[in-house]
A and B are shown apart, each in its own frame.
Chain A
C-alpha cells in the first residue's frame, strides 16, 4: 500500500469525503438563492434559529446560577425573562414557518426528510418547553406537575418520566431534550442546504433549461436551486 492509498483510506479522509457528499462546498453558505426565496416568509425560519440561540444562551446562564437563582437575583430574573420571551418568539416564528412550509407543500422534490425533521423538532420543542414549566421551582411548577402526572401515568410512562420529580425534569429540560432537539435542528438545516428551498408549486423550468422534448415529458418543477434562476441574497 502506498502512502497515497493510506491517505485516501484513513478515517479523516473518509469523514471529509462524507461531509463533502452530505453538503457540497458550494451549498454550505451560498450567497445566491433562487428568485422565489425573496419573500418575508423565509425570514421566519432564520428567526426561529436566532431565537433558539437566545434560548440556549440564556438557559446556559440560568444553569450556571442554579435552579432557584432567578428568584433572588435581579440579573437572574432578567435572564429568566429573556429565556421565557425568546422561547415565545421561537414558537411564534417556528409556527409561522410551519404554516408557510405546509402551504408550499415543502416536502416535494425529495424533501420528505427535511419536512419530517422539522415536524419532529416542532413536537420535541413542545415537550422541552413543558419540562421547562416544571423546572421553575415555584408553586406554578408544582401545580402543573400535579395536573400532568395523571395523564402521563394513564399512558404508562409515569414510572420512568415522573413529573413530580423536579431533579429528573430539570435534567430532561437542560440535557436530554435539548440534545435531541439540537441534533434534529442541525439535520434540518443540513437537509435544507443539501436539497435547496422548495420551488413554488406552479414553477416552470427556466427557458434555458427547456429541452426539445414534448411538454408533457418535462419535469414539472426544478428540483434543485442550481436549475433555477438565482438572485443574490439581501
Chain B
C-alpha cells in the first residue's frame, strides 16, 4: 500500500473550476520560474564582455 492511500486530497473550488492544491502550487511555481526567467540577467563569460568592449570601440 502506498503512503498516500487513505488520505483526503485538498481541492480548490471556484465555480466550474476544481483543482487540487498540489496542482495549483505547481502552476504557481511555474509562473514564478517564468517571471524569474524574464527578469534575471543571464550570466556571461569575461570573454564575451571583452568581445563586447571590442565591438564597441
Contact = CB atoms under 8 A, between A and B. Distances in A.
Q: Do chains A and B interact in one complex? A: yes
Chain A interface mostly: helix
Contacts of B26: 92
A177 to B, nearest CB: 23
Contact of A96 (B34, B42, B43, B52): B34
Nearest to A37: B42
A229 B26 CA distance: 38
A78 B5 CA distance: 20
Nearest to B39: A40
Given A38-B42, A234-B43, A96 B33 contact: yes
B41 to A, nearest CB: 9
Nearest to A99: B34
Interface residues of A, number: 15
A231 B45 CA distance: 11
Chain B interface mostly: helix
- Residues of B in contact with A, size category: 10 to 19
Contacts of A232: 47-48, 51
Contacts of B51: 231-232
B30 interface: yes
Nearest to B55: A229
Given A96-B30, A234-B43, A41 B37 contact: yes
A81 B40 CA distance: 31
Interface of B: 26, 30, 33-34, 36-38, 40, 42-45, 47-48, 51-52, 55
